[in-house]
Every structure is written in C-alpha cells, then in structure tokens.
Structure 1
Amino acid sequence: MEPQLSHHVEGAVATVVIRHPAKRNAMTAAMWRALPPLLEGFARDPGVRALVLTGEGGTFCAGADISTLQGSPAQAQTLAMAAEEALAAFPKPTLAAVRGHCVGGGAQLAAACDLRLAEEGALFGVTPARLGIVYPASSTRRLVSLVGPATAKYLLFTAELIDAARALGTGLVDEVLPEGELDKRVAELTRVLVSRSQLTQAAAKEFTDGRTDRDAHWAERADGNPDTVEGVAAFLERRQPRFTWSVAAPGSPSSSGSPSSSGSPSSSGSTSG
C-alpha cells in the first residue's frame, strides 16, 4: 500500500488514519506535508466537531520514515514540527487512539492531541537521542506539560520505550483499554465530545494551552451566545442541549487563527505520501 493519510467523517467526527504498513506507519515527508492542509479543511467544516487520529492496523506510528532523514534531517524535522503544531492548534477536540508503537514522530503527534486513549500493549517512546537529533523546544515543552520535567528527561535522555500502564501513570495517556475495547471507547467518548458546547471547548483549549491573553476575545463571544441560552434552557427543561455554535460558522472565526481555505476535505478519501 502506498503511504498515505486516509480520512473520513462520520457522525460529526473526522478520523485521520496513518497508513504505511511496510514501515509500521512511519510518516514520510509527503505525509507530514499533507497533514496541515487536511486539518485546516476539517477545522473550517462546521459538520466536524471532533477529530480522531489513529494508525492502520496494530500500530499507531513508529515515527518518521528514517529514509527521509538521509537527505536533509533539518528539513524533515521542520515538516514534522509544522504538522505537530497544526494538530495542536486545531480548534476542536482531538483524540489519539493508540495501538502498538507510538514512537518518535508518532509520540509527537499523539502529544499534540488533546486526549490520548491507548490499548493494552501499546508502547511509547521519545527517541531523538537514538539519532543524535535535538528535540524541538516546542515539542519538549508540550511533553513536559503532560508528564512533568522528570519523566520528560527520562524519556528524552534514554529514548527507551514505556508501556501503556506506565504512560497512564505519567499522564502521557488518559485511559488504557483492554484489547479489543479501544474502538468502542473512542466512539463513546467522541459522542460525548460532539454533544458538548464547542464554544466552551474552544475557549478551554486555548486557556489550557496557555493563551491567557484571550479573556476578552472569549468573553465577547460568550456574551449573549446561543449556546449559553440553549444550555440553561435544556438544564431547566431536563433535556439534552442542542448546541450550534461552531468555530467554523460565519462570524465565528477559527480560534486557531488559520488563514482562510478554499474548501474542506471530502467526507472520505486519502492523501498519498
């Protein structure tokens, strides 16, 4: 199979699948390049309210395709950083569904997601020390924010792999599921995510990611917002709310500040690498 990022949308959830089975879903340069515009399209699609990133088969992502590092390691790292930052800036909830190896660039992508669910047997590693690569400052800060400085140093200094149970204990993973239960739990959790207020989620995402200068921005959007009116009414009427605010809606520019896009991804497809 040609290396590619396949994608589809179902029930307001966009799913992006890393597919490179010959190399345990390692990311090629073309795959790194393809991810930011793919995410931008989903960000601007009001029909998408959450995004899942996963790998084909029994592996999440074994990192970057090392053959792409031989020509220009600096360029390869630049591409990986751009993809990571695009994922971190995605204005809607993101979830990494991890099976098998989540290593190197794969761990970068998982850490850039808002939530991480793993199946028992998953292995995690941050491995630049095996290649003599300087891990980017932004990626290091993101890792520290998840696991703390001591564990981040352990992972970066040793480049050793840790299992899902240890990843859960460090905060790198939010939940660990028994074998065969991951897809069910991902479906359950994304149903919850898409049912909640995107206004709340988008503001909370910025605040928890350190955008403390945006209080006035979000206060302005919250004032008289229909989601607030609907949420209170639903609570008083003892029914499920029907939230409609979207970062992609006219008059509600994306909180990520991305430039305008001419369109969004189709409901299903693939981007070859």
Structure 2
Amino acid sequence: MAAPEIPKKYKAVIYDKPGTLSTKVVELDTPEPGPGEVLINLSHSGVCHSDFGIMMNSWSQLPFPTSEGQVGGHEGVGTIVKMGPAICLGSGELRYSCAGGGLGHIAVQLGSRGMGYRVIGVDADAKEELVLSSGAEHFVPLSAGKAIPDKVKELTGGLGAHAVVVLTAANGAYAQAVDMLRFGGTLVAVGIPEGEPVAIAGAMPQTLVAKALKIVGVAVGDRREAIETMDFARRGIVKSHHRVEKMDALTAVFEEMEGGKLQGRVVLDLS
C-alpha cells in the first residue's frame, strides 16, 4: 500500500485573542515527527469545557497565560499517517476512552442503564428532557438555587444520596454536594473548576466525621474501566447525544457553552 500523501500545510483552530471568546481558523506548517513520535491526521475533535477555560485564561494551574495562536482541542480522533524513528508495534490492541464527551448524560446512562442505580440529575433547566431521556429517575433544575440539596433529600426520603458525582467545573456544585449526601455517602470529584483552587465549602472535619462521608477524585479511569465503558456503547446501553459542526463554528459553540445551552456534546469536523 502506498504511503498517504501528506500536505505541507494543515488547517487548525487557534485562540487568536486569549482571554476573550475568540477563535480563528488558520493554516499551519505540517510538522515532521521526531524520535518516538507519530503524525496523526485528525478527522474530528470533541469540544470540552476545559478548552473554553484555556481560551479564556481561566486555569492558572496550567501553563499561564495561554499563548496567542495556541491550537485548541484535546479530544481528537484520526489516523496515523507517518511515524518518526524508534517507533515499534505494540504487543496488542488498546481500546481507550477519554470519556470526555458530554459527561453528564453519559454518566446518567452508565449509572441507570449500565449499573442499575436510581439517578437524580441536577443541571440547567433547559437540559431536563435530555437528562430524563438518558435514564434519570428525577430532575432538579439549577434554578432551584440554594434549595437544590433540600429537593434531593425530599426525593430520597429525607436521607440524601448515596453518592454525588460532580461533573461540572463549578465550585458552587461542589459546595452543595456535601449537603446532598446521606450518612456514609461519597462525593466523587470529576469536574475541575477554573480559576484559583478553592476548597470544597461545607467539607469541614466535623461534617465528614459526623456523617462518615468520603471524598474521592477520579482521573479518567483505567484500561479495564475504559473497555467496560466501550462495551456498554457497543451493546447500545450508552448512546452519545451529539451534533457535528464545522471548524469555523467553534466560537459560536463556545458562546452556547458559556450560556449553558449546549445539549450533549459538539464534535468538530476538521476536514
């Protein structure tokens, strides 16, 4: 088989004015893979809230500030078109999921349909239909504000949830999560808030001890969990709610994201 023809230029979306909501499609020189590297022709990429945070210079924990002209995205899929020196074939096939797409509705499906849990979804009011159709038994809108923990307790017989999984990058969500838990409950931290690190409000030692609470962090998952998740998708238990947009639509997608209007995941067609 002939080697694929590699263009000297490729299209990319860059953050042209970091700190503001602005992106631009440009042409860049195609890099040459060095030792231990491969060149991948990306066909699609998911749009993650962390991309938004990097564009807006909201994550001071990362290399800061974001460089003008930085290429965005970290959820790409594509085909290897060229290998650098010192590349060898692995000992087997690796199937791996970054689990980065529209986390909320995927988590609801995994919990309710995949594991048989009774799920309460908490999200923006406009996402009620998506959350319930994904398998949640109940929905609590963000417009309930400070009353959200009380509503969760009402739905759980006054006890609270066995576990609260925080998928959003909001300190406010973490602050309310502790109050939603029952005795012996677990707070699962997934979403990473932007800005300076803030301790979880309400997670005082007195509360943790009195209610025997646990707080755990989850960093993507291991290979076994990734394979199990992919198997759920293969069997149709988990289905991604997504839409495909062109590269030049990214700024508009970020505007939707900022307004909390996105339903599921947006995937960019990079062709």
- The structure in which a higher percent of residues are strand is 2
The structure whose Rg is larger is 2
- The structure in which a higher percent of residues are helix is 1
Same fold (TM over 0.5): no
TM-score tier by shorter-chain length is under 0.3
TM-score (norm 2): 0.24
Work out which structure has the larger RCO, using CA pairs closer than 8 Å and 6 or more positions apart in sequence: 1
